[in-house]
Structure 1
Amino acid sequence: MRAVFGLVLVAGLALAGFAVYMAKNYISGYQNELAAANAAKAQIIQTVEVIVAKRPLRYGEVLKTEDVRWAKWPEDSLPEGVFKAVDDLFPDPKNPDMRRIVLRAMEPNEAVMAIKVTEPGEDAGLTSRLKKGMRAFTIKVDVATGVSGFLRPGDVVDVYWTGEIGTGTRNDRREVTKLIQPNIQLIAVDQTANGDDAEATIARTVTVTANSQQVAALAQAQASGRLSLALVGAEDDTVAQSVEVDMRSLLGIKEAEQIKEEQVAQSEKVCTIRNRRGSEVVQIPIPCTN
């Protein structure tokens, strides 16, 4: 009997130890899963629903409710001007006078922003692209002065003027080319304000945005000479300095008066050499050889 009792006791202790071992493993696994779930929850990015394009939208299209949809967007990286409510984008969808028109091309799933569409009821013409205090001015161009057709609305150009300056006498007049307006933005090429067209076209006119003073300068320059455009690089943030070139400076030809002044200055120039005599330094005039 004692042997049987001992065997039963040993078996009971073994079973109890096994049960404790299994329970410990289960609790440890549960704790690990709980910790992993908490870590994953901490990495979840907070999102907010915004309105995005459902299909490709091009410049000049009327934006309709069926052209957009909702999409989740990371809350900490929302672009400026996104729409979070339908009423903000479409104040009155049934009223044609309150429609919005696409100003910039949008691809599917791209957020609709205020800068890419007109205000409700606003026309998509040039007036919507003019900032406060700015005016639209048209410049005549050709294949040479218009950068061979590579200009697009939204590009930035430098404007150069070529014409004659000087007094009324014929001998005193000279033709010069001068930079008159740096960093002027184009808002239309011919009758097109769509900057998404990648095809090069030879334009006859370009329209720029400028303030009143710049408009007056461009009008006077266009009436008194020829205007040429130089395309500025997309990432070029340098400020162009004053530039003026005429035929004489281009070829390195000096004016007669300038030559005479240099000759007079040369004749008046005194050259010397220094000689040391003991502790005294003596300067002796000599003919200038150069």
Structure 2
Amino acid sequence: MRLIFGLVLLAGLALAGFAIHTAQGRFNQYKSALASTQQSIVPTKDVFVVRRQLKYGDQLRRTDVRAIQWPATSVPVGTFASMDEIFPPEDDGSRTVLRLMERDEPLLRAKVTNPGQGAGIAATLTPGMRAFTLSVDVNSGVSGFLRPGDRVDVYWTGGGGEGGVTKLIEANMPLIAIDQQTDEQRNNPTIARNVTVEARPEIVAKLAQAQATGSLSLALVGVQDQTESASVHATLREVLGAEETAERRQTCTVRTRKGAEVVLIPVPCPEDG
């Protein structure tokens, strides 16, 4: 009986030793695999994203933002480093959304105002630039196809030799507002009465002088068009030809109103100076 008990005990010890040895081998394999996996893991960094869709003019609050892990080598330019950087403790004002953001999209500095600042034109101006408003109509305003974010060429038409001249006075001017709308995501066309451009102070002075001494027209620049417009000008002689221009100078009229009727009265043309 004792012999049988001893044999069973020896068999149990052998099995226990084998199990321990097997478990230790498996544990070592797991450690090696884990170390190899850790070496291949991409380093990450906290990036703050929005929890819901935010549109132009929405108020950004702490509950709208959360942090996620983002590959450290691919962090978008303009992200925030901490929640306190987004909402400084010493500033009670919330930020205002300037660009449409979809759920889980990274929160970028260019898409929100400074704390406590509204979503007006002043919040979007580039440092050193000024906002200047041009009066337009259905013809000069490209028939209502303009919207904030587009670029336009500005042409001036005024008096001068040969019956007048049209010149390109500034090319690729960015529009920052159409009437009182600054939202670039708006898609519905409107017939604008005013457009606001962003320009350097010296360009603002040129536009103001041009608007006061003649009429301005806008030409829409294509989204993918990166070409620089050359100097352009056209006179009435170039448009109509010399003979027709001379004929137009021989017969001049003035407009006069008789009640509700507008009458054209022929008058002698002034001599070219």
TM-score above 0.5, yes or no: yes
Q: Cα 1:109–1:180, aligned 2, differ >3 Å: closer, same or farther?
A: same
Which amino acid in structure 1 is aligned with residue 138 of structure 2? V
- 2:217 is matched with 228
**Counterparts of 1:39 and 1:249, CA distance in 2:** 77
Contact kept? 1:151, 1:189, Cα under 8 Å:
yes
Q: Secondary structure at the match of 1:201?
A: coil
1:123 to 99, 109, 118: 118
**Counterparts of 2:62 and 2:80, CA distance in 1:** 13
Structure 1: segments with no counterpart, 5+ residues: 1-18, 167-172, 257-290
Q: Cα 1:209–1:30, aligned 2, differ >3 Å: closer, same or farther?
A: same
1:176 to 155, 165, 185: 165
Matched, 1:76 2:73: yes
**Counterparts of 1:54 and 1:143, CA distance in 2:** 41
1:62 to 54, 59, 68: 59
Residue deviations 1:42-76, cap 9 Å, x none?
A: 43221112110100001111111111112111110
Residue deviations 1:253-283, cap 9 Å, x none?
A: 3899xxxxxxxxxxxxxxxxxxxxxxxxxxx
Q: Cα 1:93–1:110, aligned 2, differ >3 Å: closer, same or farther?
A: farther
Contact kept? 1:103, 1:118, Cα under 8 Å:
yes
1:142 to 122, 137, 143: 137
Which amino acid in structure 1 is aligned with residue 112 of structure 2? V
Contact kept? 1:65, 1:93, Cα under 8 Å:
no
Contact kept? 1:162, 1:176, Cα under 8 Å:
yes
What is the percent sequence identity of the aligned residues? 48
Tell me how far 1:30 sits from its aligned partner: 9.4
Which amino acid in structure 1 is aligned with residue 68 of structure 2? A
Q: TM-score, normalization: structure 2?
A: 0.74
Q: Secondary structure at the match of 1:137?
A: strand
Q: Cα 1:40–1:144, aligned 2, differ >3 Å: closer, same or farther?
A: farther
Matched, 1:151 2:140: no
Matched, 1:43 2:32: no
Give me the CA root mean square deviation: 2.8
Of 245-254 and 233-242, deviating more is 245-254
1:109 to 75, 97, 104: 104
**Counterparts of 2:28 and 2:165, CA distance in 1:** 84
For these two proteins, the number of residue pairs brought into alignment is: 225
- 1:170 is matched with none
Tell me how far 1:89 sits from its aligned partner: 0.4
Q: Greater CA radius of gyration, 1 or 2?
A: 1
Structure 2: segments with no counterpart, 5+ residues: 1-17, 246-273
- 2:194 is matched with 205
Of 148-157 and 85-94, deviating more is 85-94
Q: Cα 1:175–1:85, aligned 2, differ >3 Å: closer, same or farther?
A: same
**Counterparts of 2:48 and 2:191, CA distance in 1:** 38
Contact kept? 1:93, 1:99, Cα under 8 Å:
no
Matched, 1:92 2:89: yes
Q: Cα 1:35–1:165, aligned 2, differ >3 Å: closer, same or farther?
A: farther
Contact kept? 2:91, 2:115, Cα under 8 Å:
no
**Counterparts of 2:62 and 2:104, CA distance in 1:** 15
Which amino acid in structure 1 is aligned with residue 135 of structure 2? K
**Counterparts of 1:159 and 1:94, CA distance in 2:** 42
**Counterparts of 1:77 and 1:230, CA distance in 2:** 38
Q: Secondary structure at the match of 2:242?
A: coil
Which amino acid in structure 1 is aligned with residue 196 of structure 2? T
Contact kept? 2:42, 2:71, Cα under 8 Å:
yes
**Counterparts of 2:114 and 2:91, CA distance in 1:** 16
Q: TM-score, normalization: structure 1?
A: 0.70
Contact kept? 2:48, 2:80, Cα under 8 Å:
yes
Q: What does 1:257-272 align with in structure 2 at a 5 Å threshold?
A: none
**Counterparts of 1:252 and 1:38, CA distance in 2:** 83
Contact kept? 1:141, 1:206, Cα under 8 Å:
yes
Q: Secondary structure at the match of 1:72?
A: strand
Which amino acid in structure 1 is aligned with residue 103 of structure 2? P
Tell me how far 1:250 sits from its aligned partner: 2.4
Q: Cα 1:230–1:150, aligned 2, differ >3 Å: closer, same or farther?
A: same
- 2:185 is matched with 196
- 1:244 is matched with 233
- 2:176 is matched with 187
**Counterparts of 2:230 and 2:40, CA distance in 1:** 52
Tell me how far 1:114 sits from its aligned partner: 1.0
Tell me how far 1:36 sits from its aligned partner: 6.3
